[in-house]
């Protein structure tokens, strides 16, 4: 009976309804929950497509920056003739990857009070107020992360370009691909990139939606970065024709509350702000500027993931409503829910990160032709959660073993589940779909709770 109820739930879910209200024939995939583990292999879920092209596949092939962008970057680096550029690139890469969040003033005061109390507990030391203050400050310097704001001049901007242009392009391209694959009818006309840096978001957006986008607004506080981004668009010169038309550069966000953009992006910029208050103000402003999708991307570290989850919760729980756009927000990706992140609430918190392969720009020091960009992202959308499918997200690389597959799934109920999928227990189609899926994909399976299952059909009376 549980199997029949599970299949009815699959066939009556909004994901499979036709516009006329009739459920299409589908090869229904099993719910990975006890009691609902069979599939209907007689119906047609995939149509004529093979399992390796099931609807949850979101992997993006190895990304390559446009040839014009790679050529312009190489030209500018050669023109500047920077000494020891390889060492500077490696040093900046290591610094950005190991960067942590700045300590908030309240936390700093709490630590200072704790150290003062600890020092006063020692009766053998006569603590004079001046000496006590010096001891506390000395201990704080040894135990506190010293966050510093990066000031991008012409030289540092070029080093950042050499270190992060291709990797940043790959991460943002993966975020755009998520929207294109799941909402192919979405054709944005305007885009704003906060913390635009070298302009990699503009190039990635042009590759994804170049046919429809007519305005790109690049905002960055560094004048040197804006000049560099404009040169890259013009092939390395200041007077050439821009490769992407309709790009505008600003050092400050548009003031008018009426100005909205179809897509708003902030890639690797939240970590550049000195305090939580600044980040809160920025996220609220970016959300007000968002008409459809707000895309936030950070390094695939715990610090980067925590930044994104704070921003996510701020938008979902925010009391501030835009008078011009009262539509609520929901998580489009990667979370299949609006509940607290199970990766952070686990006994051993982990970063929810993804990986995207990309072809390196052929700088002289790049020995590898391909690399992997590890990043965290969150895509927030205006509207209702019912507008997006709620399939579990694969959060780790899949382990393929003989006749079974190990999948770590972030499920719509807000929990992480380690599912061991076999053809015998879950059906041939779910097993094959799981086997060809990869890290970051959605597994096309619905996990209803017992309370959500529709009532069972009445059995025919005896004798009929």
Q: What is the pLDDT of residues 422-452, one digit of tens each?
A: 988 888 888 899 999 999 999 888 654 433 4
348 compared with 393, residue with greater pLDDT = 393
Asked if pLDDT for residue 381 goes beyond 80, the answer is: yes
Given pLDDT bands bounded at 50, 70 and 90, which one contains residue 387? low
pLDDT at 44: 53
Task: Please provide the DSSP assignment of 364-397 as one string.
Answer: TT---SEEEEEEEEEEEEES-GGGS--PPEE-S-
181 three-state secondary structure: helix
1 compared with 418, residue with greater pLDDT = 418
pLDDT at 2: 39
Confirm if 234 and 71 have CB atoms less than 8 A apart: no
Mean pLDDT in residue range 189-211: 96
pLDDT at 169: 97
pLDDT at 131: 75
150 compared with 125, residue with greater pLDDT = 150
257 compared with 244, residue with greater pLDDT = 244
Given pLDDT bands bounded at 50, 70 and 90, which one contains residue 320? low
Asked if pLDDT for residue 56 goes beyond 60, the answer is: yes
Whether omega for the bond prior to residue 350 falls within 30 degrees of 0, making it cis, is: no
pLDDT at 337: 92
Given pLDDT bands bounded at 50, 70 and 90, which one contains residue 463? very low
205 compared with 462, residue with greater pLDDT = 205
pLDDT in tens, 132-180: 777 778 787 788 778 788 899 999 999 999 999 999 999 999 999 999 9
Confirm if 138 and 332 have CB atoms less than 8 A apart: no
Torsion of CA 208, 211, 213, 218, to 10 degrees: 60
CA 282/CA 272 separation, integer angstroms: 12
pLDDT in tens, 284-303: 999 999 999 999 999 999 99
For the chain, what percent of residues have pLDDT higher than 70?
Answer: 83
**CATH 3.30.360.10 is held by the domain 61-81+151-380:** no
199 compared with 424, residue with greater pLDDT = 199
- Of residues 237, 283, 245, 243, the one with CA closest to residue 264: 283
pLDDT at 321: 58
Residues spanned by CATH 3.40.50.150 within the chain?
A: 61-81+151-380
Give CB contacts under 8 A, 24+ apart, made by 126-135: none
Confirm if 162 and 69 have CB atoms less than 8 A apart: no
Confirm if 379 and 333 have CB atoms less than 8 A apart: yes
Confirm if 397 and 111 have CB atoms less than 8 A apart: no
Q: Across the chain, what does the average pLDDT equal?
A: 82
């Amino acid at each position: 009976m549980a199997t029949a109820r599970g299949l009815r739930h699959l066939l009556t879910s909004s994901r499979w309804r036709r516009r006329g209200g009739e459920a299409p024939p589908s090869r229904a995939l099993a719910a990975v929950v006890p009691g609902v583990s069979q599939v209907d292999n007689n119906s047609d879920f995939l149509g004529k497509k093979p399992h390796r092209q099931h609807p949850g596949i979101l992997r993006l092939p190895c990304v390559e920056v446009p040839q014009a962008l790679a050529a312009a970057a190489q030209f500018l680096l050669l023109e500047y003739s920077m000494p020891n550029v390889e060492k500077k690139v490696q040093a900046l890469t290591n610094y950005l990857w190991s960067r942590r969040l700045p300590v908030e003033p309240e936390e700093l005061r709490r630590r200072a009070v704790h150290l003062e109390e600890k020092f006063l507990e020692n009766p053998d030391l006569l603590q004079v107020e001046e000496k006590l203050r010096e001891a506390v400050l000395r201990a704080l310097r040894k135990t506190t992360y010293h966050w510093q704001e990066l000031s991008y001049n012409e030289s540092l901007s070029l080093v950042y370009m050499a270190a992060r242009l291709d990797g940043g392009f790959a991460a943002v391209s993966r975020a755009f691909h998520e929207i294109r694959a799941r909402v192919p009818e979405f054709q944005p006309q305007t885009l704003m990139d906060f913390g635009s840096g070298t302009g990699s978001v503009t190039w990635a957006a042009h590759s994804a939606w170049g046919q429809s986008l007519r305005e790109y607004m690049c905002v960055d506080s560094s004048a040197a970065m804006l000049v560099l981004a404009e040169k890259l668009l013009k092939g390395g010169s200041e007077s050439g024709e821009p490769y992407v038309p309709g790009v505008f550069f600003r050092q400050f966000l548009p003031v008018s509350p009426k100005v909205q953009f179809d897509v708003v992006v902030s890639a690797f910029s939240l970590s550049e702000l000195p305090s939580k208050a600044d980040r809160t103000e920025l996220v609220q402003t970016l959300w007000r500027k968002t008409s459809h999708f707000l895309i936030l991307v950070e390094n695939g570290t715990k610090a980067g993931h925590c930044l994104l989850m704070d921003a996510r919760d701020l938008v979902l729980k925010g009391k501030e409503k835009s008078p011009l756009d009262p539509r609520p927000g929901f998580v489009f990706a990667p979370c299949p829910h609006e509940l607290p992140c199970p990766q952070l609430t686990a006994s051993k918190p982990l970063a929810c990160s993804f990986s995207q392969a990309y072809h390196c720009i052929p700088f002289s020091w790049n020995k590898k032709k391909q690399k992997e960009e590890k990043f965290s992202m969150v895509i927030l959308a205006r509207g209702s959660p019912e507008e997006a499918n709620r399939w579990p997200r694969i959060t780790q690389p899949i382990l393929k073993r003989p006749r079974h597959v190990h999948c770590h799934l972030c499920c719509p109920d807000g929990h992480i589940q380690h599912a061991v999928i076999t053809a015998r227990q879950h059906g041939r189609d779910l097993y094959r779909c799981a086997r060809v899926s990869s890290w970051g994909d959605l597994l096309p399976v619905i996990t209803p709770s017992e309370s959500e299952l529709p009532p069972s059909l009445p059995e025919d009376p005896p004798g009929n």
